[in-house]
Amino acid sequence: MLGLERRQRIMEKIRLDRKVYVSDLAQTFKVTEETIRRDLEKLEGQDLLRRSYGGAVITESTSEDLSYKHRSAINSESKLAIAEKAARLIQDGDTIMMDSSTTCQALLQRLKGQKDVTVITNSIRLMNDFMGSGFKMICTGGTMRESSCALTGTIASQTLEKYYVDFTFISCKGIDREKGIMESNDSEGRIKSVMIRQARKAVLLIDHSKFDRTAFVKCDDFSHIDTLVTDEKPSSEWQSYLADNHINLIF
């Protein structure tokens, strides 16, 4: 296993467990403890975790805005799997809205080759990365949040409200059956909520680590979601909840 892949899997584990131990990781990946310590040192240098005696802990809080680079390094394999499944929903000629999530970036990458697709987004990164890709790209404008490269505020909302699309694709920081769909900050949460209401079908893209997770602010209810795409089979409680709320589950 390459070091990059091992470090990605370490980040997946620490996102789930909130902490990791050097000895356990060494046994899991069948490498020396010194190798794991070097991995943790590199991840700490990227501000992805904080080393502690015998292991490391995650530095994130419910209200912390992770940088785009930080989010790109987390659960990358899961995001690719989700993108592969979500891409099957899109047909040539569809119009879509996308938030500034790294999962949406993976999805748009997967959609290359689709014909006459219009993408409306509040993401500076998507506008830059897919310049010349063949998509018709529409930017919301607005006030940029540097950490996520997302445009928010009144201008962004007003732009979105002018359009009605086939699909909206969003991700979020956490979901809870009682609390709903949650985000780390109110400004991006409001944009996601507007996007949901402007679409014929609203699709939530989340990996397994987001289930039963509380974040700082509620951005919407599940009653406005049509489809949830994830990378692993959710618990039976979640499956029942989604079925009762008439939400199509793809995993």
Question: In terms of pLDDT, which residue wins out, 194 or 185?
Answer: 194
Rounded to an integer, the average pLDDT of 231-241 is 96
pLDDT in tens, 124-163: 999 999 998 999 999 999 999 988 899 999 999 999 999 9
Residue 42, classified by CB atoms within 10 Å of its CB into exposed (0-12), middle (13-18) or buried (19+), is middle
Q: Please say if the pLDDT value at position 196 is more than 70.
A: yes
Cα 62 to Cα 7: distance, rounded to the nearest angstrom: 23
| pLDDT in the model for residue 184 | 87
Q: Please say if the pLDDT value at position 169 is more than 90.
A: yes
Q: Please say if the pLDDT value at position 171 is more than 90.
A: yes
Q: What is the mean pLDDT of the chain?
A: 91
pLDDT in tens, 41-74: 998 887 678 888 899 987 655 445 554 555 554 5
Single out the residue of 210, 201, 233, 229 nearest to residue 106, CA to CA: 229
pLDDT in tens, 89-127: 999 999 999 999 999 999 999 999 899 999 999 999 999
Give Cβ neighbours of residue 40 (< 8 Å, ≥ 6 apart).
Answer: 10, 20, 22, 49, 51, 55, 56
| pLDDT in the model for residue 227 | 98
| pLDDT in the model for residue 62 | 46
| Pairing, β 227-229 against β 19-21 | unpaired
| pLDDT in the model for residue 71 | 52
The lowest-confidence range among 5-9, 20-24, 38-42, 75-79 is: 75-79
- Helix (H) / strand (E) containing 239: helix 236-244
Cα 124 to Cα 219: distance, rounded to the nearest angstrom: 21
Residue 114, SS3 per DSSP: coil
| pLDDT in the model for residue 63 | 46
- The CB density around residue 5, as the number of other CB atoms within 10 Å, is 12
Percentage, residues of the chain above pLDDT 70: 93
Domains (range + CATH), the chain: 3-59 (1.10.10.10), 69-250 (3.40.50.10470)
| pLDDT in the model for residue 127 | 96
| pLDDT in the model for residue 66 | 52
Q: How far is CA 222 from the centre of its chain?
A: 17
| pLDDT in the model for residue 80 | 92
